[in-house]
């Protein structure tokens, strides 16, 4: 329970990410009206968040190595809250833009530091499960924003759009206070030469919780972490592009490439538009269906916490790609051939798609991101992987209205289905199995020079 609590606190940054992803679709028209924004101003202001997130995620890994994972984790809610205060208080367009940029910076930091922090503090048997708390928090953030958007649209409450953002204060405050009680990660402490402190943290975290965990086991763990660091004397850049580590970096980036190219954020950001195109009914009905999507996203993420340690990362990922490809294919088929009488099946397929995404493509890139890099470059590797998430996210979301207009919804979804099939083939060939392996065992495999993809996978590929 104690380890869950730690992971849940560190994962709260995910809520801030998810909440902001979802809330904008509900309030953008109101913001445009209040600030009298034209299309260019709106586009610029909207683009500042992914831009800030992209930039900050690139540098956060180094920052985490420098000041520690914990200090960065503590900084996130402060920056986020400051941005929210600006949004709530401002009447000027430039301050609004500054706030969006700041939100982006804090969210970009959070997507690197939280999975890293959780992976480095938890034992291997439950690491996958606990890193999924981060994805769970993202989905809860998205769902909360959908509910607020729905209540706002149905005029059931009197919150202005400014105060809808204010809801983000609650998790930010919990995170800030909670993080005051969290320890620094043992891996970072070792990296900085604080071995005794690292042992104390390991004992504090695992004694009585991991079977037979004792002082001598903590000493052994710290020794193993120290060995990994001692062996690596090259600069971060040299290590990252080395023959041994390059496959890890490619994997981190490609997992997010396929996650985003599966079209998830087209559903997350444009769910009402998609349901509308699929002729689901009134505006309120589409918003309600959107809340349904958000709820299923949360529920299936909870299920994935169970499966990730039983099935393993690789089978779960393969299953997810198959399920998302099939459901997207059906939507594409029904829409392309204009089978209006079957539009309810297409709507169901949106839910099937979300279910498969939420149990695999959603959480697994975050789970594997901090697992697949040696300690010396874990921060930077995670940074590049998370930055690619933002890059591909922005490209897919920006391309959607253009694709919708030029080729229509059927072929657009067919493209996402094709990327899911490619994701399946990629995973079959390149994704290793990291289930129940300690971070040091994974690192030893990388350093051994054996092909990375053979890690934890029995059959020869
Ligand atoms: C993705 C987000 C997406 C969310 C949906 C995350 O793993 O990175 O882009 O919006 O899942 O649940």
383 neighbors 60 (Cβ within 8 angstroms): yes
Mutate to test the pocket of ligand 1, among 15, 16, 18 (most ligand atoms within 8 A of CB): 18
pLDDT tier for residue 148 given thresholds of 50, 70 and 90: confident
- d(CA 424, CA 374) in angstroms, rounded, equals 26
The response to whether residue 389 sits with its C-beta less than 6 Å from ligand 1 reads yes
Token pair belonging to 434: 């990291």
Tens digit of each residue's pLDDT (9 = 90 or more) over 72-127: 999 999 999 999 999 999 889 999 999 999 999 999 999 999 999 999 999 888 99
Identify the pLDDT of residue 329. 97
Whether residues 314 and 412 share a domain: the answer is yes
By alpha-carbon position, which residue is closest to atom 6 of ligand 1? Answer: 362
Q: How far apart are CA 205 and CA 68, in angstroms?
A: 18
**Centroid of ligand 1 to alpha carbon of 165 (angstroms):** 19
Which candidate, 416, 368, 453, places its Cα nearest to that of 132? 368
* pLDDT beyond 80 at 280: no
- Alpha-carbon distance 233 to 444, whole Å? 16
Please indicate whether residue 138, judged by its CB atom, sits closer than 6 Å to ligand 1.
yes
Q: Give the pLDDT of residue 182.
A: 95
Q: What is the DSSP letter of 122?
A: S
The residues, ordered by sequence, that sit 6+ positions from 381 with a Cβ below 8 Å of its Cβ are 61, 240, 245, 248, 249, 252, 369, 372, 373
Phi and psi angles of residue 207, each rounded to the nearest 5 degrees, phi first: -65, 130
Indicate whether 30 and 77 sit together in one domain: yes
Same domain, 396 and 274: yes
Q: How far apart are CA 39 and CA 15, in angstroms?
A: 29
Q: How far apart are CA 56 and CA 127, in angstroms?
A: 25
Task: Return d(Cα 329, Cα 62) in angstroms, integer.
Answer: 41
Number of domains in the chain: 3
295 lines ligand 1 (CB under 6 A): no
Average pLDDT of the residues of the chain: 91
Q: State pLDDT tens for residues 166-202.
A: 888 999 999 999 999 999 999 999 999 999 999 999 9
Task: Give the range of the structural domain holding residue 193, as residue numbers without chain letter.
Answer: 186-231
Q: What's 253's domain CATH number?
A: 1.20.1250.20
- Structure confidence at residue 461 (pLDDT): 43
pLDDT tens digits for 384-426? 999 999 999 999 988 998 998 899 989 999 999 999 999 999 9
- The band of 343, judged by pLDDT with boundaries at 50, 70 and 90, is confident
pLDDT at 369 over 90: yes
Mean pLDDT value across residues 320-333: 97
Q: 207 - beta bridge partners?
A: 210
The DSSP letter of residue 207 is: B
Residues 243 and 384 in one domain: yes
Residue 23 in tokens: 């809330």
Q: Is the pLDDT of residue 441 over 60?
A: yes
Q: Would you state the pLDDT for residue 279?
A: 73
Confidence (pTM): 0.92
How much distance in Å is there from the Cα of 319 to the middle of ligand 1?
A: 18
227/151 same-domain check: no
What is the best residue among 362, 366, 367 to mutate for testing ligand 1's pocket, by most ligand atoms within 8 Å of CB?
A: 362
Asked if residue 157 has pLDDT above 80, the reply is no
CA of 14 relative to ligand 1 center, distance in Å: 10
């Amino acid at each position: 329970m104690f380890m869950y609590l730690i992971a849940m606190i560190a994962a709260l940054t995910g809520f801030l990410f998810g909440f902001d992803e979802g809330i904008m679709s509900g309030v953008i028209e109101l913001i445009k009206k209040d600030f009298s924004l034209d299309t260019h101003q709106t586009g610029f202001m909207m683009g500042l968040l992914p831009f800030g997130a992209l930039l900050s995620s690139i540098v956060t890994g180094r920052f985490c190595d420098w000041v520690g994972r914990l200090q960065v984790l503590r900084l996130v809610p402060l920056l986020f809250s400051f941005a929210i205060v600006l949004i709530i208080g401002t009447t000027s367009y430039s301050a609004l833009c500054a706030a969006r940029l700041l939100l982006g910076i804090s969210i970009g930091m959070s997507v690197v530091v939280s999975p890293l922090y959780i992976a480095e503090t938890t034992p291997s048997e439950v690491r996958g499960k606990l890193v999924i708390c981060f994805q769970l928090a993202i989905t809860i953030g998205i769902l909360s924003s959908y509910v607020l958007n729905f209540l706002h649209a149905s005029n059931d409450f009197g919150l202005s759009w400014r105060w809808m953002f204010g809801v983000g204060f609650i998790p930010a405050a919990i995170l800030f206070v909670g993080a005051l009680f969290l320890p620094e990660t043992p891996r970072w402490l070792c990296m900085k030469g604080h071995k005794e402190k690292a042992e104390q943290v390991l004992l504090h975290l695992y004694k009585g919780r991991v079977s037979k965990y004792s002082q001598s086991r903590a000493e052994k763990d710290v020794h193993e972490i120290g060995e990994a660091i001692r062996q690596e004397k090259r600069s971060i850049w040299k290590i990252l592009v080395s023959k041994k580590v390059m496959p890890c970096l490619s994997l981190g980036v490609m997992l997010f490439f396929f996650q985003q190219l599966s079209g998830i954020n087209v559903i997350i950001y444009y769910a009402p538009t998609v349901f509308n195109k699929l002729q689901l009914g009134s505006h309120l009905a589409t918003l309600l269906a959107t809340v349904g999507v958000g709820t299923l996203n949360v529920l299936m993420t909870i299920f994935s916490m169970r499966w990730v340690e039983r099935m393993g990362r690789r089978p779960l990922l393969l299953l997810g790609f198959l399920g998302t490809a099939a459901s997207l294919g059906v939507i594409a088929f029904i829409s392309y051939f204009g089978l209006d009488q079957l539009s309810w099946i297409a709507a169901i397929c949106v839910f099937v798609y979300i279910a498969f995404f939420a149990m695999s493509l959603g959480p697994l890139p975050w789970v594997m991101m901090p697992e697949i890099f040696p300690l010396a470059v874990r921060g930077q590797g995670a940074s590049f992987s998370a930055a690619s998430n933002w890059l591909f996210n922005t490209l897919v979301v920006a391309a959607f209205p253009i694709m919708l207009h030029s080729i229509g919804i059927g072929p657009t979804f067919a493209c996402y289905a094709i990327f899911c099939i490619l994701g399946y083939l990629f995973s079959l060939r390149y994704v290793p199995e990291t289930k129940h392996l300690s971070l040091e065992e994974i690192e030893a495999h990388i350093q051994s020079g054996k092909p990375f993809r053979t890690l934890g996978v029995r059959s020869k590929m």
